[in-house]
Amino acid sequence: MTTFQIPDGWTAQAYRFALDPTPSQERAIRSHCGAARFAHNHMLALVKAVIDQRSSERSYGVPDNEMTPVLGWSLAALRKKWNTRKNTVAPWWAENSKEAYNSGLDGLARGLNAWSASRSGVRAGAKIGFPRFKPKHRVVNSVRFTTGAIRVNLDRHHVTLPVLGTIHTHESTRKLARRIEAGTARILSATVKYDGQHWYCTFAVIVEGKHGGDRARRSPHPVVGVDVGVKDLLVVAAADGTEIERVPAPKPLTAAQTRLRVLQRKAARQQGRWDQTTESRQDPSKRWVRTQARIAKTHARVANIRRNELHAATTRLARNHDVIVVEDLNVAGMSRRGGAYKQGLNRAIGDAALGRIRTLLGYKTTWNQARLVTADRWFPSTRTCSRCQAITKLTLRDRVYHCRNGCPPIDRDTNAAINLARLTLQVTGRT
């Protein structure tokens, strides 16, 4: 099966709009999300049953040609099997769009393929576990549409989705609508998701000629190095030693810890999904559900603050400079171990979303005709003196760099940003 190829001169982009559904529309959206979850859980149970059955038959010496037939893990195989069983296990399936069930099956197929590739060593990185069932009260409600009536309405304040119909949006959709009308954008899919506060519709789009155009840069320093951290989110410096910008880390999760601690302790005292007395699952109380909704809203606000700060800082960098040099940080490895001795640092690393910065700069530099350079993961930008190039060992608590050759003290983050900026001098010849 061939994969979709983005045409030359076009770029993939996403447009996200906050929805304002009516009560009946919200019920329909939740029904679609539940249908996706049901299809995922039902077919996962069937896959596990087939695996266990074949394992038992193999232990009894049953020949391979007489064993239970293998159930394919591809999306096409899972969808074909689901279509033969849906009238029996889900007689209500016609109430929702077929895309809802396809969304759940697609997630299951991706999870099974990732587990298989990780188990065989084909997939790099940490080991991927076997897919798990999605509980009703512990899963993010989302559903994806790839076919049917998916469009942005001409009035700039409504979107149309299959079966769900026309839904009002909180914000104007003119940025996407104008491109569609001009023929420079094409919608590939739409994903409806609940983040704990609002319903959002995200359009996966390909656009033509997405770039900022030729224009003069506002900064006199075209080449900069960017050092990221948990105390200061970004420290930007030029190769001549000038510190251009310092963006403090917003730390929204740290600011919300007091409220989260109160809500989570309250939820622990209420009747939740697990009864410790009988050690069994149970239907949660309405108060527990309301408390969980308040926890989700708090996390959604934290994510929105973090996202806004990251987008503002990276957009400013991509528009003002020609060449941006960043580090290739192993964020997952930085926060993997340490236990109780490192839980505060691990939380700060996650709160800063250090790995997200390079991803955002990756496509924003393309849009603004800039260049992103990634330094080698083992490049000692922090330990190297930006004046004499001597290497001095530092601990995490050392915020000022003291060179072992006696150079004047300098902020460690500024020193690292200067070293990163100088990486491209031999290539670009610019200062």
- Per-block mean pLDDT, blocks of 10 residues, the chain (431 long): 75 92 95 96 95 91 86 93 94 94 95 93 87 88 93 93 95 93 93 91 89 62 89 90 89 93 91 72 83 92 93 92 88 72 79 88 88 88 85 84 86 89 66 44
Within 8 A by CB and 6+ apart from 197, the residues are 296, 297, 300, 301
* CA pair distance 335, 76, nearest whole angstrom: 38
* CA pair distance 428, 431, nearest whole angstrom: 9
Cβ-contact 212, 369 below 8 angstroms: yes
* CA pair distance 277, 264, nearest whole angstrom: 20
Task: Give me the pLDDT at residue 38, please.
Answer: 96
Within 8 A by CB and 6+ apart from 265, the residues are none
pTM: 0.83
Cβ-contact 374, 329 below 8 angstroms: no
Task: Give me the pLDDT at residue 197, please.
Answer: 83
Cβ-contact 181, 171 below 8 angstroms: no
171 among known catalytic residues: no
66 among known catalytic residues: no
Choose the CATH number for 223-247+302-428 among 3.90.550, 3.30.56, 3.30.420, 2.60.40.
3.30.420
Within 8 A by CB and 6+ apart from 229, the residues are 235, 249, 352, 354, 413
Report which residue type is found at 254: T
Between helix 257-269 and helix 286-320 the angle, nearest 10°, is 160
Task: Give me the pLDDT at residue 431, please.
Answer: 44
Q: State the DSSP H helix or E strand holding residue 75, giving kind and residue range, or none if neither.
A: helix 75-89
CB atoms within 10 A of CB 202: 16
Q: State the DSSP H helix or E strand holding residue 375, giving kind and residue range, or none if neither.
A: strand 371-375
Task: Say which residue the tokens 């990251």 belong to.
Answer: 310
- For residue 229, give Cα distances in angstroms to 133, 345, 349, 399: 36, 11, 8, 11
Do β-strands 185-194 and 274-275 pair in parallel, antiparallel, or remain unpaired?
unpaired
CB atoms within 10 A of CB 277: 5
Report which residue type is found at 68: T
Task: Give me the pLDDT at residue 345, please.
Answer: 80
Active-site choice (227, 232, 309, 322): 227
Active-site choice (195, 309, 327, 351): 327
387-392, long-range: CB within 8 Å, 24+ apart, which pairs? none
Query: Structural domain boundaries of the chain?
Result: 1-210, 223-247+302-428
Task: Give me the pLDDT at residue 328, please.
Answer: 86
Between helix 23-59 and helix 98-120 the angle, nearest 10°, is 40
* CA pair distance 374, 362, nearest whole angstrom: 10
Cβ-contact 171, 17 below 8 angstroms: yes
Cβ-contact 198, 179 below 8 angstroms: no
227 among known catalytic residues: yes
C-alpha R_g of the chain: 26
* CA pair distance 146, 287, nearest whole angstrom: 37
* CA pair distance 392, 98, nearest whole angstrom: 61
Cβ-contact 291, 270 below 8 angstroms: yes
